[in-house]
């Protein structure tokens, strides 16, 4: 199978499910808010708990990877925030720009692509990347999605502790540390897997529905900066972080880390902007409109950028 064929295999399922949501959104008037609430409070916590509890990556390497995810994400948040303010962006477009620039689609897109390019180590590294990113997504990401001209830092971060995902991450690591994780064939774990597996298609259906209701004319001209940061700058930041933390001692892990950093914009920020949508800004653009357009455009453009990135990583040029 060629590299381009593999990319198509990873991308097409994503676009196909989103297309179903798009057609459904065009045919019916659907409110995505309840779907977002179910995803945040039920589906995603189950997905993360199961993935973390069943991961086979050692504790030392896991700690360095999670530290790398945190450093990468905070660096991209600071960079995107600075660029957005220099361009004169204001809320909600500013928060949407930072969200879509800083959080890669490391799950439903990143896992199959990493597995094809780097085998078993690719899949396990991608799963751990998701675990680290999820904590940041529902802390830093919630703050970025819920802040506004009238928001204060304390009030925005208070939202984090109303969400169950943070507690699901803590519970999964505690269960592993105590050695009490149930076997994967037990009813409890099979139920968690069933519920968690529903998160990705629901997210993609929400993406399609939101795209169907988006006025792209206002947003498409604004997401170029976000997409440039996400697809071109983010992998370079990932290389710097991997070298700083010594991930180069395990080249395949380091290369998968960089590949994950270069993925297109994640779907979860769309759910967050829908959940905390405060309406349109002075320019008439809402956060969900910006993020959904950035996801669509970056996913399409990533066919080219990821093909080049994998070729460079496989050749050992960057790491």
26 lies in some domain: no
- Give strand ranges (E) for 219-264: none
Q: Could you tell me the two tokens for 262?
A: 């270069």
- The domain total for the chain is 1
CATH number at residue 300: 1.20.1530.20
Strand segments (E) across the chain: none
Give how far Cα 134 sits from Cα of 47, 88, 165, 241, Å.
Answer: 10, 29, 8, 18
Question: What are 53-90's pLDDT values in tens digits?
Answer: 887 766 677 789 989 999 999 999 999 999 999 998 88
CB 131 within 8 A of CB 52: yes
pTM: 0.79
Distance CA 147, CA 270 (A): 15
Structural domain includes residue 251: yes
132 vs 65: CA distance, rounded Å:
8
Torsion of CA 121, 126, 129, 130, to 10 degrees: -150
When computed from its CA atoms, the radius of gyration of the chain, rounded to whole angstroms, is 18
Nearest to 44 by CA among 110, 151, 135: 135
Is residue 82 included in any domain, yes or no? yes
Q: Regarding predicted confidence, which is higher, 73 or 3?
A: 73
Contact status, residue 234 vs residue 258, Cβ threshold 8 Å? no
Supply the pLDDT for residue 256.
93
Residue 14 lies in a domain: no
Supply the range of the domain harboring residue 238: 31-314
Q: How far apart are CA 187 and CA 168, in angstroms?
A: 18
What gap in Å lies between CA 99 and CA 251, rounded to an integer? 29
Whether residue 3 lies inside any domain: the answer is no
Residue 25 lies in a domain: no
In a domain, 17, yes or no: no
What is the pLDDT confidence band of residue 1, given thresholds at 50, 70 and 90? very low
**160-164, 201-205, 228-232, 254-258 — which is least confidently predicted?**
160-164
Tens-digit pLDDT profile for residues 177-206:
899 999 999 999 999 999 988 888 888 888
Which of 2-16, 25-39, 191-205, 252-266 has the largest mean confidence? 252-266
Q: Is residue 19 part of a domain?
A: no
């Amino acid at each position: 199978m060629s590299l381009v064929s593999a990319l198509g295999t990873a991308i097409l399922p994503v676009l196909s499910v989103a297309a179903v949501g798009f057609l459904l959104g065009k045919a019916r008037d659907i409110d995505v808010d309840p779907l977002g609430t179910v995803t945040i409070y039920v589906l995603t916590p189950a997905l993360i708990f199961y993935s973390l509890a069943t991961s086979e990556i050692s504790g030392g390497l896991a700690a360095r990877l999670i530290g790398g995810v945190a450093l990468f994400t905070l660096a991209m948040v600071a960079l995107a925030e600075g660029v957005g303010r220099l361009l004169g962006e204001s809320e909600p477009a500013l928060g949407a720009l930072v969200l879509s620039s800083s959080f890669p689609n490391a799950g439903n897109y990143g896992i199959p692509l990493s597995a094809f390019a780097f085998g078993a180590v690719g899949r396990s590294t991608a799963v751990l990347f998701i675990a680290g990113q999820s904590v940041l997504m529902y802390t830093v990401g919630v703050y970025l999605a819920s802040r506004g001209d009238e928001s204060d830092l304390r009030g925005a971060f208070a939202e984090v502790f109303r969400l169950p995902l943070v507690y699901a991450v803590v519970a999964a690591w505690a269960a592993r540390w105590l050695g009490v994780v149930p076997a994967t064939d037990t009813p409890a774990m099979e139920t968690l897997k069933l519920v968690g597996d529903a998160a990705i298609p629901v997210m993609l259906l929400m993406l399609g529905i939101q795209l169907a209701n988006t006025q792209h004319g206002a947003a498409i001209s604004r997401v170029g900066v976000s997409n440039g940061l996400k697809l071109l700058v983010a992998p370079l930041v990932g290389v710097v972080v991997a070298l700083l933390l010594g991930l180069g001692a395990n080249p395949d892990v380091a290369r998968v880390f960089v590949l994950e950093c270069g993925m297109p914009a994640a779907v979860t920020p769309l759910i967050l902007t829908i959940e905390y949508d405060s309406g349109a800004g002075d320019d008439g653009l809402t956060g969900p409109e910006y993020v959904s357009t950035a996801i669509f455009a970056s996913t399409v453009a990533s066919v080219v950028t990821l093909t080049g990135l994998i070729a460079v990583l496989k050749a050992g040029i960057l790491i």
